[in-house]
Amino acid sequence: MKIFYVLPLVFLHQSLLAKTVPIERRDDGFRIQIGAVSTEVHFLTDHIARVRRYPGAAPLSTEKSLVVRLAEKAALKIRLQETRDYLLAFSPTLKVKLNKANGQLRFFDGQGKLLLAEIADKDPFIPTDDDGRTSYRISQSYLLAPDEAIYGLGQHQNGKMNQRHQRLLLKQKNMEIAIPFFQSTKGYGLYWDNYSGTVFQDSLGRAAFTSEIGDNIDYYFLAGNKPDDVVRRYRELTGHVPMLPLWSFGYLQSRERYRSQEELIAVVGRYRQLGVPLDGIIQDWQYWGEDKLDWNGAAFNHPRFPEPKKMIDRVHKQHARLLISVWPSFGSHTSIYRELEKGKMLYPFLTYPVSPQVKVYDAFHPEARKIYWKYLNDNLFSAGIDGWWLDATEPVQKEVSTAVQNGPELAYKDRIDSPAGISTYLGSFRRMGNAFPLMTVEGVYEGQRGSSGVSKRPLILTRSAFAGQQRTGSVLWSGDIQASWLTLKKQVPLGLNLSLTGMPYWNSDIGGFFTSKNYPEGIRDPTYAELYIRWLQFAVFTGMMRSHGTNTPREIYQFGQPGDLVFDILRKYIGLRYRLLPYIYSSAWSVSSQALSLMRPLVMAYPEDRNGWELGTEYLFGPSLLVAPVTDSLFARGATALDLKRTLPKEVYLPHGEWIDFWTNRRLTGGKKIIRHVSLDEIPVFVKAGSIVPFAEEAPYASIKHFQSMEIRVYPGRNTSYVLYEDEGDGFDYLKGGYSLIRFTWNEARKELLIGDRTGDFNSMVPERQFKISIKGTNLPSKTIRYNGTAQVVAFK
């Protein structure tokens, strides 16, 4: 039986002056009640502490976190010190100090530097009705330093890198991802463990989380010297990232939508005919039919897709994969709707498409998640589908806006509040709603992982996310954005903030989803082709390279044919993506094995360099490549043709050290801004001196067998090393040691490259291969050697 506490507000105010009750000491921390409010501090590791605060002597609820995977460790021993005024709990790397007069906490690193301090809120617990259950509107404020920058909080289309002085509504919505986690340049992160609609507001140095529903204030403080450390702690707390299949890092083609199986097969065939690399094609909605009542039946019910298994087999025979769109809502004529309705596992709110007979399923219900996966498995996965596009995982919530011109038709808009009176398996939707994407994505991930005899790694592309979702390996995208230069510009800091939120794989619709507003002529407009080129260049250096949108087609041959300027530029950059695959895949291994990040903002790569704190215009892709996407137009609206004669001045900040221009091999000194003039076929890319970058030969699709011959590019300037990771490219043997590592070590003084012994092996491993060693930015000739797994030295003197 649960006991509910309703405390008069005056009692809470008076509690600040009330007598402190005895401290409950624990091996991992303490609990103390000061007046009417109790505070608990528990260390989960030397670097991570949980804070829980609630009115009364016991919390209203003790439900297990949906997000946190790290258990409190019984063996952990935390030291406690008490004075008349303070209580201190500390590990070698984190100190938490409680003021016994008011219960407020301050957090210090192991050397005693103040990291963060709580500020007392006037009304931290305001009693509220949670659809018939007693709860609170909760808030907690923190004092931020004037020169402190913060990052994360999910995905927000505000164009900001530093999220200071912002008011952000953390509510799942198309193009907005709500994750109540941020990290600071002072060396810490904070995860607010609440799933209701939340506002984060930073004003005049006072940063606060305020959540619509909460039984307790519950948050986790993560100490880390650098952003990489904070992300590492975050994933330790909420889950590590699995390896994605190698093919998912190739080029994926999509549109809204392929209208028949013949059209879909023909697109793959055309890419193969043209010799343009391609790894996946994506089938968008309505393959299930076009009637709302048949919405999202999780099966090929459209007459223009009569033989889905044959279609999928033909895609596979051309060495491509098929991803498919699935929504969390269903029409009443579908079998899955009827089964979920029978179990009372459907929400009654309006969604998309708007109809009282289209409903979203209760992803918080374990049985509903099993039913969802059962239909995906029986109708799609068993037919050979390779990956999932889980669309609208916010989920979409609609409300009536107004009558249209006084007619019978109603207009609908997206809700920004949570609907009342909607129950989930775990509580009201108002209480749980922000965690919906985590639950539905995790249900599919666990369903596929739990299927016997399955050797495909789950690949899930989805529009929304919550904390912890990185443990499914899901790839996020930025939603249904408009095609414009401003939108493209916003994508860069947006993706970087998601990276700092701990989400390593992100992408956006190349060319923007909607084009008709700004480019009604679509691909027939040369200025749209310019925007598309710049977007695709940027996409080479993101977690997924995927072309998608409506209003106008996006396949490469829609822009022309070989020999045409636009076609050739697009072809060049798709090819570059494939040449970079060994580098990208090894970086993905670092994401999984070392909790690193693929898209690395300058504040992450160079945290001591304040010049990079505000820069959301450039980033490191992997450990070595500095990328500065071009987000301004070179050609005026109305231009009738594009050319390579004109150049655009692009300002790029080079951090301290030496850099080598990727395209020209020119050496540059960092610690300053430079101007790089770029033509339409160039994106500024610089390689950090003292880097080793593996380059594959271009191939029509991603496969480990295409890495038999590889160029190893050394960018000299200092001693360095690099580890090349390889496995089968799919399956789960890598979890049991089925992979190989080759370490390359460059000695700057001797001008020697040591290729170490290959460690480990896996099925389909190439026993002997060819390496072409190139020393960039020098006059040293390249050398080609055979490598059979035994160490050898390649000298260049």
The residue-averaged pLDDT of 257-273 equals 99
Q: Is 129 a catalytic residue?
A: no
Domain end, chosen from 208, 238, 268, is at 238
The answer to whether residue 142 is domain-embedded is yes
The answer to whether residue 441 is domain-embedded is no
Residue 745 reports pLDDT greater than 90: yes
Identify the CA nearest to 234 among candidates 198, 173, 193. 193
Q: Looking at the 3D structure of the chain, how many domains does it have?
A: 2
Domain end, chosen from 170, 203, 238, is at 238
pLDDT of residue 648: 98
Domain that holds residue 698: 691-795
Tokens representing residue 149 in the block: 């920058």
Indicate the range of 12-16, 102-106, 387-391, 488-492 predicted with least confidence.
12-16
Residue 284 reports pLDDT greater than 60: yes
515: left (phi over 0), alpha (psi -120 to 50) or beta: alpha
Q: State how far the Cα of 457 lies from the Cα of 449, in Å rounded to an integer.
A: 8
Could you say which of 212, 480, 682, 711 is catalytic?
Answer: 480
**Backbone torsions φ then ψ of 495, nearest 5 degrees:** -65, -35
CATH code of the domain covering residue 188: 2.60.40.1760
Contacts of 625 (CB under 8 A, 6+ apart): 541, 583, 662, 685, 686, 687, 693
- Confidence band, pLDDT 50/70/90 cuts, at residue 417: confident
The residue-averaged pLDDT of 406-415 equals 71
Domain end, chosen from 219, 238, 257, is at 238
pLDDT of residue 16: 41
Q: State how far the Cα of 377 lies from the Cα of 557, in Å rounded to an integer.
A: 34
Residue 622 reports pLDDT greater than 80: yes
Residue 408 reports pLDDT greater than 70: no
Residue 626 reports pLDDT greater than 80: yes
The answer to whether residue 202 is domain-embedded is yes
What's the pLDDT tens digit per position in 79-106?
Answer: 999 999 999 999 999 999 999 999 999 9
The answer to whether residue 476 is domain-embedded is no
Residue 20 reports pLDDT greater than 90: no
Could you say which of 28, 391, 442, 555 is catalytic?
Answer: 391
**Backbone torsions φ then ψ of 38, nearest 5 degrees:** -100, 145
Q: State how far the Cα of 793 lies from the Cα of 778, in Å rounded to an integer.
A: 19
Enter the pTM of the model: 0.96
Identify the CA nearest to 596 among candidates 239, 182, 228, 154. 228
What's the pLDDT tens digit per position in 206-238?
Answer: 999 999 999 999 999 999 999 999 999 999 999
Q: Which long-range contacts (CB under 8 A, 24 or more apart) does 373-376 make?
A: 373/443, 373/444, 373/446, 373/447, 373/448, 374/447, 375/298, 375/299, 375/335, 375/336, 376/298, 376/326, 376/444, 376/447
- Confidence band, pLDDT 50/70/90 cuts, at residue 146: very high
CATH code of the domain covering residue 775: 2.60.40.1180
* Integer CA distances (angstroms), 118 to 24, 82, 121, 227, 538, in order: 21, 19, 9, 21, 40
Residue 75 reports pLDDT greater than 90: no
The answer to whether residue 255 is domain-embedded is no
What's the pLDDT tens digit per position in 686-707?
Answer: 999 999 999 999 999 999 999 9
What's the pLDDT tens digit per position in 353-370?
Answer: 999 999 999 999 999 999
The answer to whether residue 748 is domain-embedded is yes
What's the pLDDT tens digit per position in 503-551?
Answer: 999 999 999 999 999 999 999 999 999 999 999 999 999 999 999 999 9
What's the pLDDT tens digit per position in 594-613?
Answer: 999 999 999 999 999 999 99
The answer to whether residue 160 is domain-embedded is yes
Q: State how far the Cα of 702 lies from the Cα of 319, in Å rounded to an integer.
A: 9
Half-sphere exposure of 245 (CA within 13 A, CB side): 24
What's the pLDDT tens digit per position in 418-445?
Answer: 888 999 999 999 999 999 999 999 999 9
Mean predicted lDDT score pLDDT of the chain:
95
Percent of the chain at pLDDT exceeding 90: 92
pLDDT of residue 17: 42
Query: Peptide bond before 257: cis, by omega within 30 degrees of 0?
Result: yes
The answer to whether residue 671 is domain-embedded is no
Could you say which of 218, 279, 284, 394 is catalytic?
Answer: 394
Q: Is 394 a catalytic residue?
A: yes
Residue 783 reports pLDDT greater than 50: yes
Identify the CA nearest to 2 among candidates 56, 71, 65. 56
* Residue at 297: amino acid letter: G
Half-sphere exposure of 188 (CA within 13 A, CB side): 27
Q: Which residues pair with 402 in a beta bridge?
A: 411
